[in-house]
């Protein structure tokens, strides 16, 4: 069963241990469905939007499992914890009891010098896995006329994902469409920002007000959310 954010096993905080340190297994069609939904409902880069949802789901599972299953905490400790970005995200979502438990185990490992010298953040690894499939799914969807139109009218891709999607295809027509669309979307933002800068914020339209966060999203994507 796929949840609204697409994760199998989502909401499985029932106590049953699941492999939370590996990416959730999602079918190709599900990635397409998630992209379609994101472009329709989220006013942001669709790949960043889906990744954030999947990551939140993964983090929710991790923070529960850390407290209830030693093996999950052990797997994270063996990876030397998370990267800086995901440590902060974990801290935000986890209770102080969960956070203390994981940090205690990590400190213990450092104290006994038993951490691996090379490690990968489990959440970064899962994101990289999902990202590849999402890029592939978007390239497939952009073959549909109707989807291309919806994509064009949306905020489109952040710069990083624009580059990933462009390198994910050899189709010259698609590459041309992506570049042209990116330029159109930036021009739309530029026009709205110009108007926004010339009037009081409260006199600005919804679209003009949105241009500010949208431009930041376009430049830095999900990283704009901070941690």
Q: Which residues bind Zn ion (CB under 5 A)?
A: 45, 47-48, 83, 86, 121, 123-124, 158, 161, 221
Neighbour count for residue 226 (Cβ, 10 Å): 9
CB of 163 to Zn ion, least distance (A): 10
Which residue is associated with the tokens 């624009």? 162
For Zn ion, which is the closer residue by CB, 168 or 221?
221
How far is 179 from 167, CA to CA, in rounded Å?
12
For residue 164, give the nearest of 59, 51, 22, 64 by alpha carbon. 51
Which of 117, 116, 102, 35 lies closest to 62, judged by CA? Answer: 102
- State which residue, 165 or 204, has the beta carbon closest to Zn ion: 165
> Closest CB to Zn ion among 7 and 48?
48
Question: At closest approach, how far in Å is the CB of 83 from Zn ion?
Answer: 3
CB 129, min distance to Zn ion, A? 13
Residue 117 gets which letter from DSSP? S
Q: What is the dihedral of CA 219, 223, 225, 226, to 10 degrees?
A: -130
The rounded distance, in Å, linking the Cα atoms of 185 and 200 is 24
| Rounded least distance, CB 176 to Zn ion, Å | 21
Q: Measured from the CB atom, is 83 or 109 closer to Zn ion?
A: 83
79 versus 204: smaller Cβ distance to Zn ion: 79
The rounded distance, in Å, linking the Cα atoms of 198 and 189 is 14
> What tokens were used for 104?
């205690």
Q: Which residue's CB is nearer to Zn ion, number 124 or number 210?
A: 124
Tokens of 221: 């994507």
Least separation in angstroms between residue 102's CB and Zn ion is: 14
| Least Cβ distance, residue 120 to Zn ion (angstroms) | 8
The nearest distance, CB 121 to Zn ion, in angstroms, is 3
Taking alpha carbons only, the member of 152, 157, 160 closest to residue 181 is 152
- Show Cβ contacts of residue 126 under 8 Å, excluding neighbours closer than 6 positions: 22, 23, 24, 54, 55, 58
Complex with Zn ion: residue 26 or 45, whichever CB lies closer:
45
């Amino acid at each position: 069963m796929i949840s609204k954010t697409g994760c199998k096993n989502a909401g499985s905080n029932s106590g049953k241990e699941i492999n939370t340190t590996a990416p959730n297994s999602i079918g190709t069609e599900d990635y397409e469905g998630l992209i379609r939904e994101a472009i329709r409902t989220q006013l942001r880069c669709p790949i960043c939007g889906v990744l954030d949802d999947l990551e939140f789901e993964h983090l929710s599972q991790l923070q529960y499992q850390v407290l209830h299953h030693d093996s999950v905490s052990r797997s994270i400790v063996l990876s030397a914890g998370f990267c800086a970005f995901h440590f902060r995200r974990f801290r935000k979502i986890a209770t102080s009891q969960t956070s203390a438990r994981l940090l205690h185990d990590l400190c213990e490992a450092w104290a006994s010098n038993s951490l691996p010298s090379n490690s990968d953040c489990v959440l970064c690894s899962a994101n990289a896995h999902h990202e590849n499939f999402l890029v592939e799914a978007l390239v497939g969807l952009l073959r549909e006329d109707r989807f291309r139109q919806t994509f064009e009218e949306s905020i489109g891709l952040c710069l990083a994902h624009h580059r990933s999607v462009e390198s994910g295809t050899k189709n010259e027509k698609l590459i041309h469409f992506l570049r042209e669309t990116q330029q159109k979307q930036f021009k739309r933002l530029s026009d709205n920002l110009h108007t926004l800068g010339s009037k009081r914020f409260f006199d600005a339209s919804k679209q003009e007000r949105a241009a500010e966060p949208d431009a930041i999203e376009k430049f830095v994507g999900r990283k704009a959310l901070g941690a």
